[in-house]
Amino acid sequence: MPSCLSPPCATATSSSQSKMPIRSIWRHALQGELQLIIGPMFSGKSTELIRRMRRYQHAQLKCMVVKSKIDDRYTNDSYVWLVSTHDRQMMKANPLTRLEDMGDEFMKYDVIGIDEGQFFTDLHSFCDDAANRGKIVIVAALDGTFERKPFQHVCDLIPRAESVTKLSAVCAICGSDAAFTRRLVSSTAVELVGGSESYQPVCRNCFTTPLVTGEEDEVN
């Protein structure tokens, strides 16, 4: 997390500073930066994104969250799009096809959170531009496909980011730390939206072990 979170409030001890609204204090310290949260499925990336966004909201910064229209699993009864964790922590989100569709709308906000960043092909250009224009950008994304190939527009952000957090999940087979995602259904498409019915987190050893299907179990 950025080191500027605590000092603006903690050091405002003079009489003039103590009368200054929190947002005004933030304005003196706020700088653009890029925070990258990566890892396999079920590693808590969206949970960490929501946690950071709520912390910035508590600091009275203007925050917005966006997600790809490709992932339409989570909407409420009013068709409001949501960022949702697998244990159903939720935060309202703006659905987009491309990040550039926002135009300059993001300039009204201090912090922009992007969930499932691997679905945005213009991720690199938007994040770099927004951070250069003074925005805090937080991206939660898969860093690799089910074949352990890189999502290149996500990995290209690593040398541009102030912080990179690589999370691990729990291997669905043996319980070890899981760094990879294995697909359970027959599809070669790189982008295939799904949950535990389609994917499982696995460690290195279990990833390289041939997947045994239910039908094969019955035969054996």
Write out pLDDT tens, residues 159-199: 999 999 999 999 999 999 999 999 888 777 777 776 667 88
Tell me if 26 sits within 8 A of 59, measured CB to CB. yes
Q: Dig out the tokens for 15 from the structure.
A: 């009489």
159-169, pLDDT tens digit by residue?
Answer: 999 999 999 99
Binding-site members are 199
User: Is 214 domain-assigned?
Assistant: no
CATH number of residue 159's parent domain:
3.40.50.300
In angstroms and rounded to an integer, the radius of gyration of the C-alpha atoms of the chain is: 20
Please report whether residue 78 resides in a domain: yes
Note whether residue 52 is domain-resident.
Answer: yes
Residue 84's pLDDT is 53
Copy the structure tokens of residue 202: 């696995």
Range in 11-25, 30-44, 72-86 the model is least confident about: 11-25
In a domain, 188, yes or no: no
Q: Would you say residue 21 lies in a domain?
A: no
- What type of residue sits at position 133? R
User: Percentage of the chain surpassing pLDDT 90?
Assistant: 61
Length of the chain: 220
**DSSP assignments along 41-52, one per residue:** TTSSHHHHHHHH
Q: Of 8-22, 165-179, 206-220, where does mean pLDDT reach its minimum?
A: 8-22
**Does 44 fall in a domain?**
yes
Residues that constitute the known binding site for substrate:
199
SS3 27: helix
The answer to pTM > 0.85 is: no
Count Cβ neighbours within 10 Å for each residue of 174-198 and write b for 16 or more, e otherwise: eeeebbbbbbeeeeeeeeeeeeeeb
**Secondary structure E strands in 10-129:** 33-38, 63-68, 82-84, 90-92, 94-96, 111-114
Q: Find the domain containing 80 and state its range.
A: 31-167
Q: Which residue has the tokens 């770099």?
A: 128
Assigned domain for 181 exists: no
Calpha distance 51→38 (Å, rounded): 15
Q: Identify whether 116 is a catalytic site residue.
A: yes
Our count of domains for the chain comes to: 1
> Closest Cα partner for 132 from 56, 29, 31?
31
Of 33, 100, 105, 116, which is the active-site residue? 116
Asked if residue 64 is part of any domain, the answer here is yes
